[in-house]
Structure 1
């Protein structure tokens, strides 16, 4: 239980190790989908967000992602992707992401921003986590 003021919120969490995997993207998608199935409306949104965050960590960090955490809260689903590189200032939405209709890359964080209530980067003792908070009851991707 997590104490949020005077109320207690039940949080279910699922941790997935990604370091050293040959196909971390497919593992991340499968594990998020399995963990959230039949519980929340935003399953496919969360799968897409996890896929974009893991993909970004694969492309833009030296070691790639080391783990993924999915939390189911009372009114939200939280997706965390951690990597061991402490460059939190480099994680930002591309200025051209929304404008370049036919671009083949560069829209990952823009998609995350569109699907999530909010997203942010949190420095950790051994790197950083990119975190997206999605509304549990709304699904943009069907």
Structure 2
């Protein structure tokens, strides 16, 4: 779903996630996924110049995978604060990602050829899903777009003129 140039990207993301998961996940998990999408899109709005570009919701048998992409390339700024951090540290930033970390089976951030992508894996069942029970067909972390382009051009980096983000 395209979010660029959207007047209210968080609201659109929440509606899209709710519609995608309604009837496919427990009501509690739908609410959790809506909250996670809102946090991810809100972070892109607050912490990047252009806001989020797009969001994708992938639904598998037992999990949903949310992907939010923006044009900012600095992946080092995307990190959750420790739960043990002082209240003063948490009120500034990082609290949303701490919440995402609590609700998700896992999350990651990847550089892409044109920015970065935050990926969150959420169980669809109210009881959750342990990391060892995530089915092998679920792409917990998809290779970043930059790596895909690197493979396509034979490792010559013709697409974006930079070295691939993958080692």
Give the TM-score, by structure 2 length.
0.68
Structure 1 residue 130: Cα displacement: 0.5
For 2:87, what is the secondary structure of its paired residue?
coil
Q: How does 1:1-142 map to 2 (within 5 A)?
A: 16-41=1-26, 42-95=29-82, 99-100=86-87, 106=93, 107-138=95-126
Structure in which a larger fraction of residues adopt strand: 1
Hey, what's the Cα distance between the residues in 1 that align with 2:46 and 2:127? 27
Conserved 8 A contact 1:97-1:110: no
Check conservation: 2:82, 2:98, Cα contact below 8 A.
no
**1-structure distance, mates of 2:24, 2:70:** 28
Structure 1, unaligned stretches of length 5 or more?
1-15
Instruction: Report the 3-state secondary structure (helix = DSSP H, G, I; strand = E; otherwise coil) of the residue aligned with 2:52.
Output: coil
Specify which structure has the higher proportion of helix.
Answer: 2
- In the alignment, structure 2 segments of 5+ residues that lack a partner are 129-167
Counterpart Cα distance in 1 of 2:99 and 2:20: 22
Using a 3 Å threshold, how does the CA distance of structure 1 residues 54 and 139 change in structure 2: closer, same or farther? farther
Bigger Rg, which one: 2
Distance 1:78 1:98, change over 3 A: farther
Question: SS at 1:17's partner residue?
Answer: coil
